[in-house]
């Protein structure tokens, strides 16, 4: 069958499936799935449809396909038969001796030139260019430029470092509104674009939580592999029955695991019943199938914990293939025959985003095992129990010597007293506190790590001054992340390890005084990061903090959208509250005005500051003037998360929150008491 494809520019405003009753069975089949703002001038798909195995063409977002493009889908001839032709009067059967691979996927931001031919089973990577007249017979790498017959790589659109940055940013996954707003930069200089958007992308990736997948205890033979598949229940021609059958036939009595991700919705019971009907066919077969029924906060969290992704024909498939590409895992076509070809499964291994090879990782593990050979069995078991996610495992291995040896006096680590000790000194000795974290260290290094405070040379100089000050009335806080991490939950440990590379650790150590006593900067983060956040412990930590301002007159210096204590009882014990509002972002631009306004208040009042890195400097400057001032950072948003009781960071729509997606989009409030407390605005 020859199908003409013509999708005009600007006609696809959302990811769309074009349906057709190709088999005459009064069922819809997605002949073409195409992403937002992609177009096809004119292409011809030559396809053989049969009820046993039918393929479709999938195109990502912002991809341009020129005229006279030919896509050959599942037109293989079985050259191993004696006769390659057709015999009049004799029934013809589809090829059985050769692999049938039909699904053609053209990812995001691709350009396909005139008169190109694309053969079955090809995936063209993000950002690739296929020159006019090329015949593409194998996969095209991301951002490659290919030409010729057969098509070969003749170059790349950008330098390697630029491609690596673009593969972190993945701008095509933004909302249409954000893409439109960034159009000037998208049509402009590559380095300016990267400089603008890479810091946010890196921070966002570091904050992806780990999905809570229940591990399966495996006792069969062979390597331990987990394959992710997302059943396409909504399709008239679903792939999931064939995928499950192929998995059972290929991997029974092995340690391969099929992870089925099923979203919770109104049709969940029906979905589970349909799966039960299929599973009943294999009651006597021993294989590992793991159901993950959830609506995870970020679906990318699944891909960091699997070895392969099995595709389907849905409108979400290209998006999921893009997630697999982000984590460097293989994609296996869920419509090919055979599905689990040897050359495909041989490629499956967990790789981290920096593409470290497995043999290098094993070498590191071996070195650490030798180094730790004299430790107790309990410590040795920590190595065996490291996450099976390869990226997380690599981070764990890199950081393990600091975590395990922290109590062995074998490494020099900063001296960091507990948050409770800091609270005791703040209450009994009226100490002030200035805190440092990744944001403050980034400003000192001249790096734009945080959206809410750009790098500033003067702010960096002042932060260095505070970090090296000798005033005993000011407690210096740094996060307790350099040694043992056992008190933190999995997500927090993962993020700490991702941030605290050997390079970053050295940068921090160069700034710190190993003979000085610091206090835990996480004293103002009592909830979301801790392993015990589902116990009574967070309440006890918040109760201890509340004693600081119990019966005190407060001056709260905060960003205009922070609204500390509004909508909760965090400051219910305070005697009085006045507020000075600064900018929600880049508060240091108004520093002198904020400092002068705060100094108008009486020195008997307790000043609480929440202005990002600016708060560190402001708390110090006020302290040396005789005020008691505390840089309290995220304490209010942590309290909101605690009250929500979900054990993690969540959106708070009425408060600025730099640690969740779209946390800078804050709803207006109308609170008379809050408005009456505001004595000055510098926004």
Q: Domain check: are 313 and 362 in the same one?
A: no
- What is the CA angle 320-318-273, rounded to 5? 60
- The reply to whether 258 and 225 lie within a common domain is yes
Distance CA 546, CA 548 (A): 5
Kindly report, residue by residue over 327-350, the tens digit of the pLDDT: 988 999 888 877 886 544 444 544
Given pLDDT bands bounded at 50, 70 and 90, which one contains residue 358? Answer: very low
Residues 34 and 99 in one domain: yes
Is residue 600 domain-resident?
A: yes
* 445-466 burial code (b ≥16 CB/10 A, e <16): eeebbbebbebbeebbebbeeb
pLDDT of residue 209: 83
State how far the alpha carbon of 191 is from the alpha carbons of 187, 249, 353, 390, 436, in Å.
12, 49, 21, 30, 30
Within a domain: 214: no
CB atoms within 10 A of CB 245: 14
Same domain, 620 and 478: yes
- Helix then strand then coil, in percent of the chain rounded to 5, is 35, 20, 45
Q: What is the pLDDT of residue 676?
A: 96
- Catalytic annotation, pick one of 77, 93, 180, 634: 77
Residues 178-192 pLDDT 10s: 999 999 999 999 999
* Shared-domain flag, residues 622 and 488: yes
Tell me the pLDDT tens digit for each residue of 419-451. Answer: 999 999 999 999 999 999 998 998 998 876 566
Region 505-515: mean pLDDT is 93
| Angle between the N-to-C axes of helices 537-549 and 635-644, in degrees from 0 to 180, rounded to the nearest 10 | 140
| Cα–Cα distance list, 618 to 9, 187, 656 (Å) | 53, 41, 20
Who has greater pLDDT, 275 or 86? 275
Instruction: Give the CA distances from residue 280 to residues 172, 270, 276, 316, in Å, rounded to whole numbers and listed in that order.
Output: 41, 15, 6, 28
How large is the average pLDDT for residues 556-580?
Answer: 96
Instruction: Report the predicted TM-score, pTM, of the whole model to 2 decimal places.
Output: 0.54
Same domain, 395 and 422: no
Taking only the tens place, the pLDDT of each residue in 203-212 is 888 888 888 8
The answer as to whether 163 is a domain residue is no
The mean-pLDDT minimum among 66-80, 158-172, 294-308 falls in 66-80
> In this structure, is the dihedral angle defined by the CA atoms of residues 83, 88, 90 and 92, taken in order, positive or negative?
positive
- Residues 314, 225, single domain; the answer is yes
Q: Hey, which residues does 70 pair with through a beta bridge?
A: 44, 117
Task: Give the pLDDT confidence score for residue 114 in this predicted structure.
Answer: 95
Residue 516 belongs to some domain of the structure: yes
Residues 442 and 484 in one domain: yes
Q: Pick the range with the lowest mean pLDDT from 89-98, 215-224, 304-313, 332-341.
A: 89-98
In a domain, 433, yes or no: yes
- Considering 134, 157, 180, which residue would you say is the last residue of a domain? 157
Give the domain extent around 112.
2-157
**What's the CATH number where 329 sits?**
3.40.50.2000
C-beta separation of 368 from 400 below 8 A? yes
The answer on 152 and 252 residing in a single domain is no
454 token code pair: 């750009």
Query: Among 61, 54, 59, which Cα is nearest to 29's?
Result: 54
Q: Are residues 393 and 294 in the same domain?
A: no
CATH number at residue 34: 2.160.10.10
**Residue at which a domain ends, from 157, 176, 211:** 157
Tell me, yes or no, whether 635 and 528 share the same domain.
Answer: yes
The pLDDT of residue 423: 97
pLDDT at residue 341, as a whole number = 65
- Tokens linked to 501: 């590379």
In which element (H, E) is residue 622 found? helix 613-624
pLDDT band for position 266 (cuts 50, 70, 90):
confident
Catalytic residue at 77? yes
CA pair distance 90, 575, nearest whole angstrom: 95
pLDDT of 399 reads 64
pLDDT per residue as tens digits for the range 591-629:
999 999 999 999 999 999 999 999 999 999 999 999 999
Indicate whether 443 belongs to any domain. yes
Domain count of the fold of the chain: 4
Q: Is residue 244 part of a domain?
A: yes
Distance between first and last Cα of the chain: 64
Does residue 206 fall inside a structural domain? no
Sign of CA dihedral 348, 243, 80, 58: negative
User: CA-CA distances (angstroms) from residue 263 to 64, 258, 290, 292, 293?
Assistant: 32, 16, 14, 8, 6
Last residue of one domain, picked from the residues 106, 135, 157: 157
Q: Which three-class secondary structure state does DSSP give residue 377?
A: helix
Same domain, 106 and 237: no
Mean pLDDT estimate for the chain? 85
Dump pLDDT digits (tens) for 381-430: 443 333 334 445 455 556 666 665 555 555 779 999 999 999 999 999 99
The percent of residues in the chain predicted with pLDDT above 70, rounded, is 85
Q: Percentage of residues in the chain with pLDDT exceeding 90? A: 55
């Amino acid at each position: 069958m020859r199908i003409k494809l013509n999708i005009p520019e600007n006609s696809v405003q959302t990811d769309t499936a074009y349906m057709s009753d190709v088999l005459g069975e009064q069922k819809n089949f997605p002949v073409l799935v195409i992403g937002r703002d992609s177009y096809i001038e004119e292409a011809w798909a030559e396809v053989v449809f049969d009820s046993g195995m039918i393929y479709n063409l999938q195109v990502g977002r912002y991809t341009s396909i020129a005229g006279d493009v030919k896509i050959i889908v599942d037109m293989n001839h079985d050259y191993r038969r004696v006769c390659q032709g057709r015999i009049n009067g004799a029934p013809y059967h589809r090829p059985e001796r050769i692999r049938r691979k039909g699904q053609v996927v053209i990812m995001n931001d691709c350009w396909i030139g005139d008169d190109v031919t694309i053969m079955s089973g090809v995936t063209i990577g993000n950002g690739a260019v296929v020159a006019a007249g090329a015949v593409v017979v194998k996969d095209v790498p991301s951002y490659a430029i290919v030409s010729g017959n057969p098509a070969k790589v003749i170059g790349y659109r950008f330098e390697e470092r630029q491609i690596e940055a673009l593969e972190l940013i993945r701008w095509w996954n933004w909302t249409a509104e954000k893409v439109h707003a960034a159009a000037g930069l998208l049509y402009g200089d590559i380095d300016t674009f990267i400089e603008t958007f890479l810091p946010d992308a890196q921070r966002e990736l570091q904050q992806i939580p780990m999905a809570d997948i229940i591990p399966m205890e495996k006792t069969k033979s062979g390597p331990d592999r987990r394959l992710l598949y997302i059943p396409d229940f909504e399709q008239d021609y679903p792939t999931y029955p064939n995928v499950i059958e192929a998995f059972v036939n290929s991997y029974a009595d092995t340690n391969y695991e099929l992870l089925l991700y099923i979203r919770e919705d109104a049709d969940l019971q029906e979905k589970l019943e349909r799966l039960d009907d299929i599973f009943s066919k294999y009651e006597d077969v021993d294989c590992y199938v793991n159901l993950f029924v959830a609506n995870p906060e970020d679906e990318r969290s699944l891909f960091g914990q699997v070895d392969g992704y099995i595709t389907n024909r849905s409108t979400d498939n290209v998006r999921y293939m893009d997630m697999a590409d982000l984590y460097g895992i293989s994609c296996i076509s869920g419509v090919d025959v055979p599905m689990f070809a040897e050359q495909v499964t041989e490629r499956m291994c967990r790789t981290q985003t920096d593409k470290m090879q497995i043999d290098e990782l094993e070498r590191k593990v071996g070195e650490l095992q030798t180094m730790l050979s004299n430790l107790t069995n309990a410590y040795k078991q920590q190595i065996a129990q490291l996450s099976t996610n390869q990226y997380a495992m690599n981070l764990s291995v890199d950081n393990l010597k600091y975590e395990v040896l922290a109590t062995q006096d074998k490494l020099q680590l900063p001296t960091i007293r507990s948050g409770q000790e800091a609270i005791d000194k703040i209450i009994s000795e009226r100490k002030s506190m200035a805190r440092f974290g990744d944001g403050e260290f980034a400003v000192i290094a001249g790096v734009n790590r945080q959206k809410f405070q750009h790098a500033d040379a003067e702010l960096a100089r002042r932060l260095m001054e505070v970090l090296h000050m000798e005033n005993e009335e000011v407690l210096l806080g740094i996060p307790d992340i350099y040694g043992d991490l056992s008190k933190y939950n999995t997500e927090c440990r993962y993020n700490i390890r991702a941030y605290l590379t050997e390079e970053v650790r050295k940068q921090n150590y160069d700034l710190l005084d190993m003979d000085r006593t610091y206090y835990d900067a996480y004293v103002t983060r009592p909830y979301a990061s801790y392993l015990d956040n589902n116990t009574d412990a967070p309440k006890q930590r918040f109760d201890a903090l509340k004693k600081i301002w119990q019966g005190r007159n407060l001056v709260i210096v905060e960003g205009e959208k922070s609204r500390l204590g509004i909508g909760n009882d965090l400051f219910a014990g305070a005697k009085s509250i006045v507020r000075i509002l600064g900018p929600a972002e880049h508060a240091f631009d108004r520093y002198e005005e904020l400092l002068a306004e705060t100094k108008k208040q009486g020195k008997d009042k307790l000043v609480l500051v929440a202005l990002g890195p600016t708060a560190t400097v402001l708390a110090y400057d006020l302290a040396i003037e005789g005020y008691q001032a505390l840089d309290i950072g995220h304490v209010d948003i942590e309290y909101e998360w605690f009250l929500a009781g979900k054990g993690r960071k969540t959106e708070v729509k009425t408060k600025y929150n730099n640690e969740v997606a779209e946390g800078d989009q804050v709803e207006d409030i109308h609170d008379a008491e809050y408005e009456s407390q505001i004595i000055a605005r510098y926004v």
